[in-house]
Amino acid sequence: MTNTVKSSNLGYPRLGEHREWKKLLESYWQGKIDEAQFNETAKKLRLINLKKQIEFGLDIVPVADNSNYDHVLDTIATFNLIPTRFGSYDRPLTLDEYFAVARGNKDNVAADMTKWFNINYHYTVPEFDNTTPRLLENRWLKYWQEAKDELDINGKPVIVGPVTLIKLGKLRGEYVSASSDINQLLEQILPLYGQVFKELQAAGVTWVQLDEPTLVKAVDEADVEPYRRATEYLNEVAPQLNIELQTYFDSIDPYQAVTKLPVQAIGLDFVHGNGENFDNIRKFGFPEDKILAAGIIDGHNVWTANLQEKANFAEELRTLAPKLWLQPSNTLLHVPITKKYETKASPELFGGLAFADEKVQELVALTKKLNGDDVKSIFEQNTAALEALNSSQARNNKVVQEAIQHLSQERFERDSKYAERSKKQQASLHLPLLPTTTIGSFPQSADVRAKRAAWRKGELSEEQYNDFIEAETKRWIQLQEDIGLDVLVHGEFERTDMVEYFGQKLAGFFATQNGWVQSYGSRGVRPPVIFGDVDYTEPITVKESAFAQAQTNKPVKGMLTAPLTIINWSFVRDDIPRATVQNQIALSLRQEVINLEKAGIKIIQVDEPALREGLPLKQRNWQDYLDEAIYSFKITTTGVRDETQIHTHMCYSDFEDIISTISGLDADVISIETSRSHGEIISAFEDAHYDKQIGLGVYDIHSPRIPSVAEIADNIRRGLKVIDHNQFWVNPDCGLKTRNEKETLEALQNLEDARDLVFSEISSN
């Protein structure tokens, strides 16, 4: 008899259909509700998410995938792996204590935060120095029991695996990589996992999802050893508890060693990884005593799956691994919740979209198909929807497609080398030593958001809205001049997001109405959907930039987002190569850069904050990605005169291994986030002999904490140890949109005063 196929999920979005969770967090932070009210509402949201998945017909439902901020921070707090500056605990943390680690407080900077693998989600970095690991609370049992009591769900608790937790953390200021350190930390942490597993087993839990995505970065069998040690221990202490060892985002290289691990199911990603997981199964087979949890629905994009193709693939998988679960490729945390609110999408686009709810329904339909149920009408509707999207006019723009075909015939380089054009730029700009600037955005106040909402609802006319934006821009130009900044920005008050805004202005993009995805904490973004050929139809930023420049004699930067970051922070069509879409965007932005120069803008910043975050997880795939990044950046930026200064910005990056790429972009000035990493990134430039100008972010904008003049001055001095003062710019580490006005002005004044202090020190030497 053929084994029954089951549908499973790996995690569900947290934000709520109408961002209820975001509003809950911010209400608590603003003191509008207390901890008891917070917990009551959070529980309601958790149960809504679980109930929906059950009603869709999902067989195996994840629990404890919820979080009050970040799932890694939850694990840190649960095991008392709290940075020592916040203290050590023998009880569960209060909400205030928990949020202090995430956001900092008046006495302490927040825990380090960086990107989760190669996607636009931020996790809290564990710090293992001088910690005393202990189990403060079994959060996984707590939320499993809640689902059992309230909805009669025997759910699958989702736990960050011990090896991944260690490898994503830091010891002695460096990410943990040495075998001796991993083994030492495992010795401390494994007993805590063991206690969690024993309690889950005693309560009657059947399955645990142990997330070990760092396995996709394992190179050989020796790299699998700590995972073997961990799973053997957990299997011994809780032998009745089934473990689904879950990997995602790429393929497994030491496949045979991983399939021998003592677990009952192995989750593999069959969407990403160039088909290598499937090749391994065909070559080496799959253990008969284990379940293959097959990630066949893309959990990191928003396109309707071709159900017939997926069903055929799943049937082939079942011949190789008869015990089969069908899953998303990764947690659905990274896609919006439901497409039902996208009423402005064209019929062909709407039919081609699948957000989290639709993906769960696709999994259920595929599972029914493999189990012999009648899903003919669902499959027919799916085929028709895909045909309508692919034959649409948006995906068949002949002008754009011909421009892409002719790219190889064009040269994309600046007219002169950096050394020559930098002299022309200084002669034009007359900037002082250690020039001060910001990264681009200023606070999106409640007033700004309210005016934008009223304009969108038609309650405010286009003229009234534009008048407001201009007034706000003019006010902030004056505030910057009052502080004394050298290079100003217009503040980006017309933009909700640095990628979404461009998606609203370029053909081939769709700006969702409710396609929110968590970036970090309460921060949600609406990634634009790139569904067709990208084309430049109108100026995007020229009017606002020119208006701002007219208000001051100081230079105002034009602000754009670079092609690769737009790609990495968007949902990208999957019917053509990503590099082709990237170059379509670059050709469009090139026209915008040229138009900014024509409008009198002398400094143009083309931000590429996501360059490193999008690096393939396997180093063998890096070079193609980096070459494509340089190429598209140069398409965008090389159409201007030598006198026009090109800036770029990057954040959350380890730069040691991509210094040559940074230099290859040939930007005149680069600004880099360094504050949360405590200046470690500075060391990347010690031996690189970087010859262009650079601004190392001197304070952390993600925390409401205001840095002192002395603290900022120390950060400037630290950077000047490795970078010549003639190359050095002084700026925050990122845009200031999420901060309030008071915080922003006080911090920027301290930044300006710190620059003046260091400037005087240099001048006196």
CA angle 516, 647, 735 (to 5 degrees): 35
pLDDT of res. 652: 56
**Mean pLDDT, rounded, for 424-430:** 96
Average per-residue pLDDT in the chain? 94
Measured in degrees and rounded to the nearest 5, phi and psi for residue 314 equal -65, -35
pLDDT of res. 87: 84
Nearest to 715 by CA among 680, 663, 668, 664: 680
pLDDT digits (tens, 9 = 90+) for 318-364: 999 999 999 999 999 999 999 999 999 999 999 999 999 999 999 99
Q: Kind and range of the H or E element at 159?
A: strand 156-160
pLDDT digits (tens, 9 = 90+) for 361-380: 999 999 999 999 999 999 99
447 φ/ψ sector (left φ>0, alpha ψ -120 to 50, else beta): alpha
**Same domain as 706, residue 560:** yes
Residue 56 tokens, joined: 């869709």
**Same domain as 574, residue 667:** yes
Q: pTM of the predicted model, to two decimals?
A: 0.88
Strand partners, 122: 115
**Same domain as 423, residue 326:** no
Q: Is residue 682 pLDDT above 70, yes or no?
A: no
Q: Using the 8-state DSSP alphabet, how is residue 705 labeled?
A: P
Q: Which domain holds residue 341?
A: 6-393
Per the annotation, does 673 bind a ligand? yes
**Mean pLDDT, rounded, for 93-116:** 90
Window from 77-91, 313-327, 650-664, 748-762 with minimum mean pLDDT: 650-664
Strand partners, 650: 672
- Rounded distance between C-alpha atoms, residue 717 and residue 263, angstroms: 52
Per the annotation, does 441 bind a ligand? yes
**Same domain as 515, residue 380:** no
Q: Is residue 306 pLDDT above 50, yes or no?
A: yes
pLDDT of res. 585: 98
**Same domain as 420, residue 369:** no
Helix pair 356-370, 307-320: axis angle to 10 deg: 50
109-140 in b/e form (b: 16+ CB < 10 A) is bbbbbbbbbbbbbbbbbbbbeebeebbbbbbb
**Same domain as 287, residue 331:** yes
- Rounded distance between C-alpha atoms, residue 732 and residue 476, angstroms: 16
**Same domain as 417, residue 310:** no
User: Around Cβ 584, how many Cβ atoms within 10 Å?
Assistant: 28
The total number of structural domains that make up the chain: 2
428-450 in b/e form (b: 16+ CB < 10 A) is bbebeebbbbbbbbbbbeeebee
SS3 annotation, 209-260: EEECHHHHHCCCHHHHHHHHHHHHHHHHHCCCCEEEEECCCCCCCCHHHHHC
Per the annotation, does 741 bind a ligand? no
Q: Is residue 405 part of a domain?
A: no
pLDDT digits (tens, 9 = 90+) for 117-132: 988 899 999 999 988 8
**Mean pLDDT, rounded, for 699-717:** 88
Sheet strands side by side (includes 62-63): 6-7, 324-328, 291-297, 265-269, 242-246, 207-211, 156-160, 62-63
Q: Is residue 554 part of a domain?
A: yes
Per the annotation, does 120 bind a ligand? yes
pLDDT of res. 1: 38
Bridging pattern class, strands 113-115 and 122-124: antiparallel
**Same domain as 503, residue 361:** no
The alpha carbon of residue 239 and the mean position of all alpha carbons in its chain are separated, in whole angstroms, by: 37
**Same domain as 434, residue 335:** no
Nearest to 490 by CA among 632, 599, 585, 651: 599
SS3 content of the chain, % helix, strand, coil (to 5): 45, 15, 40
Nearest to 648 by CA among 714, 719, 563, 576: 563
Q: Is residue 251 part of a domain?
A: yes
**Same domain as 706, residue 620:** yes
pLDDT of res. 130: 84
Q: Is residue 596 pLDDT above 90, yes or no?
A: yes
Strand partners, 159: 210
Bridging pattern class, strands 529-536 and 506-510: antiparallel
Strand partners, 175: 170
Residue 745 tokens, joined: 């002005």
pLDDT digits (tens, 9 = 90+) for 509-524: 999 999 999 999 999 9
pLDDT of res. 631: 96
Return all residues near 13 (Cβ < 8 A) that are at least 6 apart.
49, 332, 333, 335, 336, 337, 356, 517, 518
**Same domain as 251, residue 166:** yes
Q: Is residue 2 pLDDT above 80, yes or no?
A: no
**Mean pLDDT, rounded, for 617-631:** 95
Q: Is residue 471 part of a domain?
A: no
Q: Is residue 169 pLDDT above 70, yes or no?
A: yes
Where residue 423 sits, what CATH number does that domain have? 3.20.20.210
pLDDT digits (tens, 9 = 90+) for 731-744: 998 888 888 999 99
Q: Is residue 469 part of a domain?
A: no
Q: Is residue 452 part of a domain?
A: no
The catalytic residue among 71, 678, 702, 725 is 702
Strand partners, 606: 560
Per-residue pLDDT band for 605 (boundaries 50, 70, 90) equals very high
Per-residue pLDDT band for 542 (boundaries 50, 70, 90) equals very high
The alpha carbon of residue 592 and the mean position of all alpha carbons in its chain are separated, in whole angstroms, by: 26
**Same domain as 141, residue 12:** yes
Q: Is residue 470 part of a domain?
A: no
pLDDT of res. 723: 87
> Taking a C-beta distance cutoff of 8 angstroms, is the pair 517, 336 a contact?
yes
Nearest to 77 by CA among 135, 21, 128: 135
Q: Is residue 467 part of a domain?
A: no
pLDDT of res. 629: 95
Nearest to 223 by CA among 275, 182, 165, 276: 182
Per the annotation, does 494 bind a ligand? no
pLDDT of res. 654: 64
Task: Reduce the DSSP state of residue 431 to 3 states and report it.
Answer: coil
Active site residue 702: yes
CA angle 374, 332, 342 (to 5 degrees): 80
Return all residues near 336 (Cβ < 8 A) that are at least 6 apart.
13, 302, 355, 356, 512, 514, 515, 516, 517, 526
- Rounded distance between C-alpha atoms, residue 65 and residue 118, angstroms: 20
Residue 222 tokens, joined: 């020796």
Q: Is residue 47 pLDDT above 80, yes or no?
A: yes
pLDDT of res. 678: 46
Q: Is residue 657 pLDDT above 50, yes or no?
A: yes
Q: Is residue 497 pLDDT above 90, yes or no?
A: no
Nearest to 78 by CA among 140, 120, 36: 140
**Mean pLDDT, rounded, for 525-535:** 95
288 φ/ψ sector (left φ>0, alpha ψ -120 to 50, else beta): alpha
- Rounded distance between C-alpha atoms, residue 147 and residue 155, angstroms: 7
